[in-house]
Each structure stands twice: as C-alpha cells, then as structure tokens.
Amino acid sequence: MLTVLTGGTGGAKLIQGLSLEVDLRDLAIICNTADDLVLYGLHVSPDLDTITYTLAGLADEEKGWGVKGDTFAALESMRKYGWETWFKLGDRDLATHLTRSVLLREGSSLSQATSRIRETLGVKASILPVSDDRIETRIVTPRGEISFQEFFVRDRWSQEVKGVYFAGVERSRPAPGVIEAIQSAAAVIVCPSNPVTSIGPILAVPGVRAALREVERPIVAVSPLIGGTAVSGPAAKLMASMGIEVSACGVARAYADFVDTILIAREDEGLRGRIAELGVEPVATSILMHSAADKRRLAREVLALIGPMC
C-alpha cells in the first residue's frame, strides 16, 4: 500500500501521475478537510472532490477545480435569489455536494459519504478524509477572522495574514483507516501541497504526526515552492505568516521530523546543504507539472526513490 498525504491542486497533479504508474487499489489517499465549507446548507469538501474528480477523469484541469465542462445554471439562479455566488459550484458538482449532504444528514460519516461518491464515480483508490470531525482553517487578518475559502476564493488571498489556526483540530480524531494506512504503508508520499493549509491540518489531527514519525519505510515529499515562490496559490504568504522560511528548505524543516527525502527544484540546488543538515535528503529535479507527461515523470521519480514496495 502506498499512502499519500494531499490537499487539492498540487496534490491532484502528482496523484494523477501516480495513477498512471501504480495499481490504484494499492493507493490510500489521506486528504485535507479543513478547507471544507457549508454553502446553501450543503457540505462542500473541495480537496476530497478535486482528488476524486481527478481520479475519475472528470476534473477540470484548466481551472484546477470542479467538473470538466460543467454548467452553472443553478448558481445563476441562486444569484437571482440574492445569494452570494463567489464560490463557484457547477451543476454536476452540485450533485456531489447534495449527495454528501444527504448522506451526512442521514447519519453517514464523511468517510462513508466519500466512499460512496468515489465508488459511484468508479475510483478504485481509497480516499480518506483525514478526520470525520469538523476541522476548520481560520485565517486571522487585521480586520478579523475569516474562513479559508473567504480568504482564498472570495478575497483572492489579498488580505494581510496575521496567523492561521485549525478550529476543532484538538478534539478531532483520525478517520477510520487513516492511522492504519500510515502504519501499513510500504511508503508515504507528501504531495506538493500547501504546507500550512493542506498538509498542516492533516499533521495537526492528534495521532497522525506521531504515526508518521514511527514509519520505518521511506517517506518522500515534493516541494510546492520553487525559489521563494509557490507554483500557485497562497502558500508563500501563509508560510511567512507562520514564521516558516519561504523556501524548499522551510518546507523540509516543517516535515523534518518524519520525512526522509524531499524533491526540490533544480533552481534550488543551492539549498541542498541546509536541507541535508536537517536530516532530510534533498533531490533536485524538475518539479513543475504542466502536462500529463510532467506528472507521470515526477511520479516515476518519486517511486524510484521509494524503491520496490515489498
């Protein structure tokens, strides 16, 4: 079993590459849920859905979210009724959120609802929300606290960030299968996801980080940063707000207690010495994934570092 920790966008790219190289039944994907939101009374899980749609071949890769070719008629009607519509829910995407919300209301856990959705969409990999309990990323700004989606989508991450925390995480428990997937893994991959708001909440769920530290098999991470810049999104800004050095070295330091190897950009070769001092082996390569070929090549390189998964 290959176990993967991921958020949405960056993680989905590497997971798409991995899906071309390994038997999907051998893949356990532990996914961030702290970006989840309740919209029009519906439970929306952006990262779970991005990963599920990616593996189902339904993802809109250009936009990086939602379903390819989706229409927005329901959202347009919501706008006419006077609702805020900055979070773009497509019509087909809406069916996923309706299904999840109905299942949750009927008493299913988020893990059970996630399994039902991925089975319906024909996805063979196991997709595990990190927790069935509600965890919510809160962004602290000079004008008060906002949710992650208000910061990321509504305000296009323009607001100054004074801090980030995960409401509810102390009381949360890992979802069924999460700790087992880490303990039984032949290897663990930490995707090039946002270290603060995607991997951060996963590591903050009590028991997850401790389980990762105990893993004796290889743990390989891929940096989401090239130089001092995130490939996309607000990772650099959020890392700075948390006092984390904005570089692949900062990413390595954030994971140094459990990660063995980190793939960094060739441009960051100069950081190799400082990363090695942390006890993490740096491997410089091309970590940008534009095309399907890039995703597959990077997945192969990660798998080669892991070696045979006996």
- Does the footprint of ligand GDP cover residue 287 (CB under 6 A)? yes
- Complex with ligand GDP: residue 170 or 267, whichever CB lies closer: 267
State which of residues 47, 70, 260, 301 lies at the interface with ligand GDP (CB under 6 A).
Answer: 47
Q: How far is the CB of 100 from ligand GDP (least distance, A)?
A: 17
Q: How far is the CB of 24 from ligand GDP (least distance, A)?
A: 19
- Which residue's beta carbon is nearest to the bound ligand GDP? 10
Q: What is the pattern of x (binds ligand GDP, CB under 6 A) and - over residues 9-28?
A: xxx-x---------------
The stretches of the chain forming alpha helices (DSSP H) are 9-19, 46-56, 73-80, 91-105, 110-120, 148-149, 178-183, 199-204, 208-214, 235-241, 248-255, 272-277, 292-306
Site for ligand GDP, residues 60 to 99, rule: CB under 6 A = none
Site for ligand GDP, residues 215 to 274, rule: CB under 6 A = 222-224, 230-233, 235
- Does the footprint of ligand GDP cover residue 284 (CB under 6 A)? no
Q: How far is the CB of 46 from ligand GDP (least distance, A)?
A: 7
Query: What is the rounded distance in angstroms from the CA atom of residue 67 to the CA atom of residue 93?
Result: 6
DSSP state at residue 46: H
Task: Tell which residue, 244, 36, 44, has the closest CA to residue 147.
Answer: 36
Q: How far is the CB of 176 from ligand GDP (least distance, A)?
A: 23
Query: Which helix (H) or strand (E) is 162 found in, with range?
Result: none
Q: Find all residues with CB under 8 Å of 116, minimum gap 6, and list them.
A: 99, 103, 108
Stretch that binds ligand GDP, among 3-11, 70-78, 79-87, 164-172 (CB under 6 A): 3-11
Burial of 257 (0-12, 13-18, 19+ CB in 10 A): middle
HSE-CB of 14 using CA atoms within 13 angstroms: 30
- Does the footprint of ligand GDP cover residue 29 (CB under 6 A)? no
Q: Which residues bind ligand GDP (CB under 6 A)?
A: 6-11, 13, 35, 47, 191-194, 198, 222-224, 230-233, 235, 287-289
